Amino acid sequence: MIKVNGNIFTVDYFPDGTQCLMNVNIAPNFNDEFNIFWRYKKDEELVTLMYIVNYIRNSYKDKNVKINLYMPYIPNARMDRTKHNREIFTLKFFANFINSLNFDKVSVIDPHSDVSVALINRICILDVNSVISKVISHLKQKADEDNKELVIYFPDAGAYKRYKDLGCIMGFRKCYGHKDRDWLTGKIVGMSIVDENDDKLCDSIVTDFETGGINGESLVASAVVKPFENKYVLMIDDIISYGGTFYYSAQKIHEMGADNIFAYATHVETDSFWNVEKGTFRKAMGFEGNSHHSDKQIVEKLYTTNSLYDVDENYFVELIDIENLK
């Protein structure tokens, strides 16, 4: 979906499938700027973007207009390196295409790779702190009402390094996951969790000595204390596709005592996330097949932005609008 100065750009098609762009009405705003908002859905939109920019430059070549692009999600960001000459470095060529349109500013949020930041000219990274802080403030209030502590969890050390210095999570207890993989298959076979001091979290046994037994003998009472008992846990990362890492994290956190687990990802790929066969994290939200089974739900809610996710809001997913994020 592409908007120009707040108006959706409508695309029609000729019988051969090519884009039919007629009766176009695009004008600069009061600052002689064109602000293009591109919420990525498919690669075809790149062609539409090219047509729009060239139309503007041709129509307003006598005016000193500025053209800014706001694409919250950077397509191809995962393909930020190649291992052999049979792989195409799609991120590099995508960035080359964007650069060829010579935008005055390209704004993004929570880029998946530092490589994409280096490749795109005049890039501006918008503050994700203001987005995540809304989620944390809401959950902190809920945790306080339940007389529980809010803990921030990151699926891996990379996510921890990415977000640990955000102002909105300062002062909260933080921990992150370590994935155990079968290196032959690449599948996740287990998960351990460490706190920010790299100390492994595990259950502990607390033993209390009490009097009052038979003939005055002491009774010994032991209890297993789990690290996430009486805790709200918010899992944070930049992107979810099928959500395997979030799923295994949620399972481990639940095993370690948490009954209130939530998740946040800036970008969520709608079709992958809800894929009946491959979608993994959806199972942690109680979904099996096309049905929802609440008795198997261990994650209460997923928070995400409308950078990619395009399903109407429901009880299980809460959308944060970032179209006008500055």
| Structure letter (DSSP) for residue 193 | E
Quote the pLDDT of residue 19.
93
Are the C-beta atoms of residues 9 and 48 closer than 8 Å to each other? yes
Residue 246: what are its φ and ψ, rounded to 5°? -65, -40
| 3 state DSSP class of 309 | coil
CA angle 194, 195, 198 (to 5 degrees): 70
Domains of the chain: 2-126 (3.40.50.2020), 129-201+227-320 (3.40.50.2020)
The residue length of the chain stands at 326
Quote the pLDDT of residue 204.
66
- Closest to 107 measured CA to CA, from 128, 121, 129, 123: 123
Radius of gyration, alpha carbons of the chain: 24
Q: What is the mean pLDDT of each run of 10 residues along the chain (326 residues)?
A: 92 94 86 93 94 94 90 88 84 95 96 91 94 95 94 92 92 87 68 83 64 56 76 94 90 90 94 89 88 85 92 82 87
Are the C-beta atoms of residues 34 and 56 closer than 8 Å to each other? yes
Q: Say if strands 173-181 and 149-154 run parallel, antiparallel, or are unpaired.
A: parallel
Give the model confidence (pLDDT) of 209-266 as tens digits.
Answer: 555 555 556 556 666 778 888 999 999 999 999 998 899 999 999 988 999 999 999 9
How is 70-108 classified by DSSP, letter by letter?
A: E-SS-TTTT----SSTTS--HHHHHHHHHHHT--SEEEE
Give the model confidence (pLDDT) of 16-39 as tens digits.
Answer: 999 999 888 888 888 889 999 999
| Structure letter (DSSP) for residue 215 | G
* Predicted model pTM: 0.87
Distance separating the N- and C-terminal Cα atoms of the chain? 19
Are the C-beta atoms of residues 173 and 195 closer than 8 Å to each other? yes
Are the C-beta atoms of residues 278 and 241 closer than 8 Å to each other? no
